[in-house]
Amino acid sequence: MQIHVGETWGKHKKTGGMAVYLVLNIDRHGLLTLQNLDNPSSIFETVAEKLETSGYFRVSETPYVNLAASKKTKHKHKTKLTRCPRTVDLFEGRADSEFPMQVQAAA
């Protein structure tokens, strides 16, 4: 299973809600650092195998961003990070390639 930094994962609460976690870091040994989006001071570490067996599910994948330079130059070019148009925004409820719902004015 491939997990990338910036992905959001969720877990259903017993009370009926959902807790959403952000993958902050992945070290070279495969240890994941997750942060609760509702409580930013709540950070914990786990491994990928434990993540799925504990009931967590992937909410949104990080779009592919090529961080490796294609060629070496004297000038450092800043690359603008863009989202994949098919990435579903958790809070908007739509993909980036979809237009927002039009609001009908009450007559």
Cα dihedral angle (83, 88, 93, 95), rounded to 10 degrees?
Answer: 70
Residue 104 lies in a domain: no
Residue 45 has a pLDDT of 92
3 in a structural domain: no
| Total structural domains within the chain | 1
Quote the pLDDT of residue 63: 53
Measure CA 94 to chain center: 15
In a domain? residue 107: no
Ranges of the chain with pLDDT below 50: 64
For the chain, how big is the Rg over CA atoms in Å? Answer: 18
Let me know if residue 25 belongs to a domain.
yes
2 lies in a domain? no
- 88 in a domain, yes or no? yes
Q: Which domain holds residue 21?
A: 8-95
Query: Is residue 102 domain-resident?
Result: no
